Structure 1
Amino acid sequence: MHDILSGGATEDDGALPENKMRKKGNELAEEELRYNGTPLCDMAERGAHLTTAATDDRPSIFEVLAQDTLMGAVRPALQHAVKVLAESNPSRYGFLWRWFDEIYLTLDLLLQHHFLSRTSASFSENFYSLKRVVTSGPGRPVHLGLPRKPRWRSLLLLALLPYLRTKLEKILARQRDEDDFSIQLPRSACRRMYRAFLAAYPFVSTAWEGWVFCQQLLYIFGRTSRHSPLLWLAGVQLMHLNVQDIRSMDLKPRPPSSTSTQSVGQKFQGMLSTALGGVALSLSTSLSLGVFFLQFLEWWYSSENQSTIKSLTSLPTPPPPLHLDQEQSAMASNNICPLCHKVRVNDTALATSGYVYCYRCVYIYVKAHQQCPMTGYPTELQHLIKIYSPEG
């Protein structure tokens, strides 16, 4: 009785002691923690791998392509604005159109250098919350910018390479015009090399575009960490900004400790850097506002939006309402059909105008003219509504 009340049992009774029961329970728990013979630690490793893949900092192909096309949309917009100014007042704004490429290159260099030094990204990359990370080397806070060599390589590839490509395309177009409308004279060796280079440029451009396309395909399938050969040449890759990066960019730069010990050259360099930073900041603010405006214009003039506007405005403008005289008012009140001028039979109303006619009269008219007899509104046979009066 004492053993029963204390919860104990003997081995002769066929029951297990308490310590053996606890040991057996632990063994069963360990067996339950296995899945198809796989320990929990292995399952945790596989789960961690899936979590890492799901929360990868690598941007999607849509984000990188969007930031690539952003600056490509800004340049034509600015060029069109400069063209309008030059045509309106050539004496004052003509130089802007003549030196547009060089002016744009200068502003682009200032803007990109500012963002590469302050956010470790270009203007368009920072607009989409991306950053450039050096593939080889220790990590670096975002607000300190890229290291010197990757920063200058990125700056040249972001600003100088598009400028050279634009110049080559203009020279190529001018050369084609000269070949079509000029007399061919004997050419020197330098001239032949120049023309050979211009002739080879389209093939080089096609090969480059093919390389970019293959790189993007490899990026989509996860075979490479860069979507563009330019990133490979710069030695960087794009990543998403995290919370620490955003907080670090909010930190203000440390002011100089003492200006009395600085030389005149250092003071001038600091003033120049501050002035250029202010210009770059103003450009970035203006471009940020302009980008939203450009995206609105792109949506407004898109084919989908134009088709919607066209469908809404395709209906003809209705004529002003007719001033019915007393006789017509009497006809309407005396159940007279406006078409046959007789008493209506099988009253039928048009959903487009609300007028009531004989069913036979309005059916024949709408089928032949596809419009309301009184108002001219576009009408189909499905707009006929038969009216069943209480008297009939």
Structure 2
Amino acid sequence: MAEAANVRQNLQNVPSIFEISAAETLDNLIYPALSKVFDYFGLRLDFKLWGNLHVREEVSPIITWILQYLYLRKRASSFGESFYGLQRTATATGELLTRQQQFTSATLLTFLPYIERKLRSRSAQHENTYAWESQLINLFHVYNASKAIHTFLYLIKYAKSHSPLFRALRLTLRYPSEPPKEDKWTYIFLKMLEVLAFFLQFIQWWYSNDQRRKLGGTLQNPQAMPERELPKELKNTLPKNGECPVCLLPLQTPTACAVSGYVYCWKCIVTHLKEQGTCPVTSYPITIEDLVRIYET
């Protein structure tokens, strides 16, 4: 009877895959939300390293790592896992994380998604990528496939860990048998961070491309300047109907900018986007996702 009770207690301490997925979603929300906030205030690392090497990078990954390490140190769980009441324990012994496991977990939680996001962004913008970057992207494909297999095995109760990273670190997620022991100020500080989770979700929704397009966009399309107000020397340089505003030649592979509505040659707008990151006519900031291919019928 005691053995049956122990088995039942262990089963009750095992979170469902839906709770684990929700915790991972919240963890993945931290970086993009912080990026939006820091970009708004212009907070970036900007300095010369040596020679012509200039470093201009975000501070979001550093803040994300500090936040995750703080939670792993105090509660043996990530930000998202703590929000859903989960805890990382050793698979074999059930003990809490060691100092090395805390450091490794925070690093993997922060920089693996960051590197994958950067690689996919460079690939989506058709930038010149190195061979090792393509190999890394393939490795991420293999990792995601392996994670899907682990998730399925965890779902059918065949595996103790839902992720290959957890298996490599010999960790698993469980509900804590007792609340974490922490002082009053640490508890208040971590609770305030958990409340900020709703703020992070709002930031992510506000800047979501899907929501922006669904609401019709946040930028107003610029009005064309009447021809009578244009200087005479500019009238002869304006593109005619069917011409690209960049190269002033007939459109080749016409591509519309969803932010401003102007149509360009695909090659012209992509080249300008790599160099400037804006719409050539309106100077609105755009990305490769804002370009829409136009097909004639």
Q: Normalization by structure 1: what TM-score?
A: 0.44
2:127 is matched with 177
1:17-36 matches, within 5 Å, as none
Whether 1:160 and 2:111 are equivalent positions in the alignment is yes
Aligned length: 203
1:135 is matched with 91
Change (3 A) 1:221 1:76: same
1:277-316 matches, within 5 Å, as 284-285=190-191, 287-295=193-201
1:212 is matched with 147
In structure 2, C-alpha distance between the alignment counterparts of 1:202 and 1:147, rounded to whole Å: 31
In structure 2, C-alpha distance between the alignment counterparts of 1:151 and 1:73, rounded to whole Å: 20
Partner-residue secondary structure (3-state), 1:99? strand
Provide the identity percentage. 27
Whether 1:76 and 2:32 are equivalent positions in the alignment is yes
Whether 1:241 and 2:199 are equivalent positions in the alignment is no
* 2:91–2:160 CA contact under 8 A, matched in 1: no
Q: Rg larger in 1 or in 2?
A: 1
Gaps of 5+ in 2: 47-54, 216-297
Instruction: Give the root-mean-square deviation of aligned CA atoms.
Output: 3.9
Shift, 1:69, TM fit: 0.7
Change (3 A) 1:173 1:227: same
Shift, 1:162, TM fit: 2.8
1:308-387 matches, within 5 Å, as none
- Residue type of the alignment partner of 1:127: F
Whether 1:229 and 2:180 are equivalent positions in the alignment is no
In structure 2, C-alpha distance between the alignment counterparts of 1:124 and 1:136, rounded to whole Å: 24
Shift, 1:70, TM fit: 0.4
Whether 1:150 and 2:101 are equivalent positions in the alignment is yes
Change (3 A) 1:300 1:94: closer
Partner-residue secondary structure (3-state), 1:223? coil
- Residue type of the alignment partner of 2:127: D
Partner-residue secondary structure (3-state), 1:62? helix
In structure 2, C-alpha distance between the alignment counterparts of 1:124 and 1:115, rounded to whole Å: 9
Shift, 1:109, TM fit: 2.5
Give deviations 1:239-270, integer Å, cap 9, x for gaps.
0022x2x1x52467xxxxxxxxxxxxxxxxxx
Match of 2:67 among 74, 88, 111: 111
Change (3 A) 1:299 1:160: closer
Q: Normalization by structure 2: what TM-score?
A: 0.56
2:57 is matched with 99
User: Which is helix-richer, 1 or 2?
Assistant: 1
Of the two structures, which has the highest relative contact order with CA contacts closer than 8 Å and spacing of 6 or more?
2
Match of 2:135 among 196, 200, 204: 200
In structure 1, C-alpha distance between the alignment counterparts of 2:3 and 2:196, rounded to whole Å: 46
In structure 2, C-alpha distance between the alignment counterparts of 1:160 and 1:125, rounded to whole Å: 18
* 1:150–1:235 CA contact under 8 A, matched in 2: no
Partner-residue secondary structure (3-state), 2:131? helix
Shift, 1:163, TM fit: 3.3
Change (3 A) 1:126 1:198: same
* 2:30–2:64 CA contact under 8 A, matched in 1: no
Partner-residue secondary structure (3-state), 2:127? helix
* 2:13–2:175 CA contact under 8 A, matched in 1: yes
Gaps of 5+ in 1: 1-43, 87-92, 180-194, 253-276, 310-392
Change (3 A) 1:51 1:171: closer
* 1:219–1:226 CA contact under 8 A, matched in 2: yes
Whether 1:85 and 2:85 are equivalent positions in the alignment is no
Change (3 A) 1:207 1:76: same
2:13 is matched with 57
User: Which is strand-richer, 1 or 2?
Assistant: 2
Shift, 1:225, TM fit: 1.1
Change (3 A) 1:85 1:131: same
Change (3 A) 1:69 1:300: same
* 1:157–1:234 CA contact under 8 A, matched in 2: no
Partner-residue secondary structure (3-state), 1:81? helix
Shift, 1:230, TM fit: 1.6
